[in-house]
Amino acid sequence: MAAIDTPVQLKAVAAPGQPDVTPELEQLYQGFERELLVPLWTEIGDLMPAHPRSRAVPHLWKWDNLVRLADEAGHLVPVGRGGERRAIALANPSLGGRPFATPTLWAAIQYLMPGEDAPEHRHTQHAFRFVVEGSGVWTVVGGDAVPMNRGDFLPQAGWNWHAHHNASDRPMAWIDGLDIPLQYVTEAQFFEFGRDEISDAERITPRYSRSERIWGHPGLRPVGVAHTTPGSPLLAYKWEHTNRALADQLELEKQGYAGTVEPGHAAVRYSNPHDGSDVLPTIRAEFHRVARGAETTPVCETGSSVYQVFDGSGTVTVGEVSWSVTRGDLFVVPSWQAFSVRSEAGSSDSDSGALDLFRFCDAPVFEALQLNRTQIDK
Ligand code: 1HN
């Protein structure tokens, strides 16, 4: 009779901290295998490492390659019901070929051809869009048409109906970030199809969405407007505000006022205007500007991040690896790997002369679980 494979496979090995390998021990391990049991003493080093050892590795994706392949997909792969989105995800090379940029985060380039619609649906996964180039697409979230332009950040918490439309005569690309890998392990996901067509009333391209007109005025919370759903009620954070905030920080620093993270390094966190919290329950988003010639201090943090170079060029170091980066490039910083950047003049000189980085990470989850830790890497 053929042996039946059990999923548990234990091998008695001679090693420090392990029992002597004897025929009796081997028999004991076979009993464990048969009964689907695993002793702690063979696993503890992996289950309880002294410090985080991420399964993900640092990796860089060049924007030029992503856009070229997305454009090819635009000519070959229609968008419609079933596939839902022409979104092409970053697969971390050490996460088994799954579409996971990190163990918790999904990141993809999405591409819509002129006049195309991506159909309406909703899901429990929390999502956002960030636009590194182009314009002309708007996303309809719960019937509110939100224009998308370079530098805009659009959070969209789970269970909101949403569809996209390219109203321009050019293809448009942007990035999507979602907490798909995290929700995958929770086994608590839901998904529903919406209407097959959005209404003509929603086929408009306003300069500002309704959500921006209610929630998008700095420091002014509307009185009498309830906000009870998760995540930010503000559906777009426009580039003009982000850019001005960062420019002001660096300019004031030059004049001797405090207000930056560290010399030459300004940053802002996108926040919920209702209560100041993160824009999404599971995802934090930030924008960092590193003045030309400035360098950031290497930092280790629990949790993982994905960055996109919005503008400028420089050198990024993650753990043991360094890359030269330019506009649009995306890279991953796994948990507890030292991260730093240096801003350098390069081929794609930015509007501000600085290295501009969009960042998203899973910090809200780690903070909620009190697993957040930061260490300056000396
Ligand atoms: C989704 O709905 C979008 O709405 C983007 O643009 C990426 C990846 C997986 C599942 C749903 C979008 C997605 C997604």
CA of residue 85 to ligand 1 center, whole Å:
6
Q: Are 152 and 187 in the same domain?
A: yes
CA of residue 155 to ligand 1 center, whole Å:
12
Of the ranges 42-46, 209-213, 264-268, which one carries the lowest mean pLDDT score?
42-46
Is residue 107 within 6 Å of ligand 1 at its C-beta?
A: no
- Looking at the structure of the chain, the number of domains it has is 3
Quote the domain boundaries for residue 43: 10-48
Q: Are 173 and 271 in the same domain?
A: no
**Cβ-based neighbours of 314, under 8 Å, separated by 6 or more:** 290, 324, 325, 341, 342, 343, 344, 346, 355
Residue 354 within a domain: yes
Q: Are 25 and 82 in the same domain?
A: no
CA of residue 194 to ligand 1 center, whole Å:
13
Residue 232 within a domain: no
Q: Are 305 and 176 in the same domain?
A: no
Of the pLDDT bands very low, low, confident and very high (cuts 50, 70, 90), residue 204 is confident
| Mean of pLDDT over the chain | 95
> How many residues make up the chain in this entry?
378
Is residue 108 within 6 Å of ligand 1 at its C-beta?
A: yes
Q: Are 43 and 191 in the same domain?
A: no
Is residue 176 within 6 Å of ligand 1 at its C-beta?
A: yes
Q: Are 63 and 44 in the same domain?
A: no
Distance CA 281, CA 274 (A): 13
What are the tens digits of pLDDT across the range 147-200? 999 999 999 999 999 999 999 999 999 999 999 999 999 999 999 999 988 888
Label the pairing between strands 162-166 and 135-141.
antiparallel
Q: Are 33 and 89 in the same domain?
A: no
**Cβ-based neighbours of 142, under 8 Å, separated by 6 or more:** 160, 161, 162
Q: Are 67 and 204 in the same domain?
A: yes
Residue 313 within a domain: yes
The model's pTM is 0.95
Residue identifier of the C-alpha nearest atom 6 of ligand 1: 85
What are the tens digits of pLDDT across the range 206-218? 899 999 999 999 9
Q: Are 67 and 205 in the same domain?
A: yes
Is residue 178 within 6 Å of ligand 1 at its C-beta?
A: yes
pLDDT above 90 covers a percentage of the chain that reads 90
